[in-house]
Amino acid sequence: AKALGKNNHQYFDSELERSSNQQLQVENHLREAIGNDEFHLNYQPKIDLKSNAIIGFEALLRWNRAGGMNTPDIFIPVAEQTGLINEIGDWVLKQVCSDVKKWLELGYGLLPVAINVSPVEFRNKKLVEQIKATIIEYGIPPEAIEIEITESLFLDNISFVKEILKDLRDFGISVAVDDFGTGYSSLQYLHELPIDILKIDKSFILDLSNQPHNAAIADSIINLAHNLGLKVVAEGIENQASMSFLKHRGCDIGQGFFMYKPMRSEELMELIV
Ligand code: C2E
Ligand code: CA
Ligand code: CA
Ligand code: CA
């Protein structure tokens, strides 16, 4: 048993070493990426589940670098740990504002774009000021921007979070709680914090029709949101069965590969002509 323990220990050490080397490599590449124009945004349409009309988009970051580390689920956590997320978040907001400005100039109607803001970015005391300044600089209406936050943010200083969200909202930016149902939120926060939208996590939606528990949870979140006067979005709709269920239960907005995959701004413009 002792030998096994020792082997396990060695195994862990080399695993740890490998993952920290990998992290260091991602970190170094990420630093270059910002200056080298290696990022672009994809936009995924959100639809009104009553009319099927496109009512907005979510901006999703893409990193144009070959290799297995370039998916956001891998590089965003590294960006968060290293603080690079602040620069990256800034780039994302500017790119979104620039795209929205272009769409408006071309005569498209105003369709809000949701941006994912990491809890780490909220540690920057100037976040709100910077967001407002950027929106003003690009001359787009604040209503064109939504932010998606995660429940983990509620673990931080709650009165600070409340103040920031209120400030953003007074400016005209709406606030969605992303990945709802997977995190830490106490229901008390939902009522205390100035938020507009709950986004049901895709883990409850992906295989909803074969998973009665997930269907029950999705249904409960829809009712919870409506009882609190919030809108509710379901993400990860991959099939007709999920979409029908959500429509039937009164979910307001849907997002998923069944309707639209995330796409480049150019493709999107063809779609909304
Ligand atoms: P998220 O905010 O929950 O974004 C939704 C994810 O679900 C996206 O993955 C999207 O491509 C994917 N998705 C959409 N519809 C479906 C579907 O029908 N089925 C399945 N299986 N997946 C679907 P993506 O683009 O890989 O992003 C992963 C995560 O990375 C995001 O999860 C978000 O947490 C983070 N992320 C992406 N872009 C940004 C960004 O600009 N800033 C920050 N801070 N985080 C970002
Ligand atoms: Ca999101
Ligand atoms: Ca999500
Ligand atoms: Ca997520």
Please report the pLDDT score of residue 10 as a whole number. 54
Contacts of 28 (CB under 8 A, 6+ apart): none
Whether the per-residue pLDDT at 121 is higher than 60: the answer is: yes
The complex's ipTM works out to 0.98
Q: Do residues 134 and 78 lie in contact, with contact meaning Cβ atoms separated by under 8 Å? A: no
187 vs 238: which has the higher pLDDT? 238
Query: What integer pLDDT is reported at residue 154 of this predicted model?
Result: 85
Quote the pLDDT of residue 187: 83
pLDDT over 60 at 211, yes or no: yes
Compute the distance from residue 7 Cα to the ligand 3 centre, in Å: 39
pLDDT tens-digit series, residues 212-237: 999 999 999 999 999 999 999 999 99
User: What DSSP character marks residue 200?
Assistant: E
Ligand nearest to the CA of 59: 1
What's the whole-number mean pLDDT along residues 116-121? Answer: 96
Distance (angstroms) between ligand 1 centre and the Cα of 1 equals 43
Residues enclosing ligand 1, CB less than 6 A? 44, 60-61, 71-73, 76, 92, 116, 118, 148, 178-179, 202, 206, 235-238, 255-257, 262
Average pLDDT, the chain: 91
Pairing mode, if any, of strands 113-116 and 174-180? Answer: unpaired
Q: Is 12 exposed, middle or buried (0-12, 13-18, 19+ CB in 10 A)?
A: exposed
What's the predicted TM-score (pTM) here? 0.92
Q: How far is the CA of 63 from the centre of ligand 3 (A)?
A: 19
**pLDDT tens-digit series, residues 45-63:** 999 999 999 999 999 999 9
When comparing pLDDT for 123 and 271, which is higher?
123
> What are the tens digits of pLDDT across the range 173-182?
999 999 999 9
In the predicted model, is pLDDT for residue 13 greater than 90?
no
Q: How far is CA 265 from CA 22, 45, 224, in A?
A: 31, 11, 34
pLDDT(104) > 70: yes
CB 214 within 8 A of CB 265: no
In this model, does residue 5 exceed pLDDT 70? no
Burial class (CB in 10 A: 0-12, 13-18, 19+), 201: buried
Task: Please write the tens of the pLDDT for every residue from 132-189.
Answer: 999 999 999 999 999 999 988 888 788 999 999 999 999 999 999 999 999 877 788 8
The residue among 45, 46, 110 whose CA lies nearest residue 252 is: 46
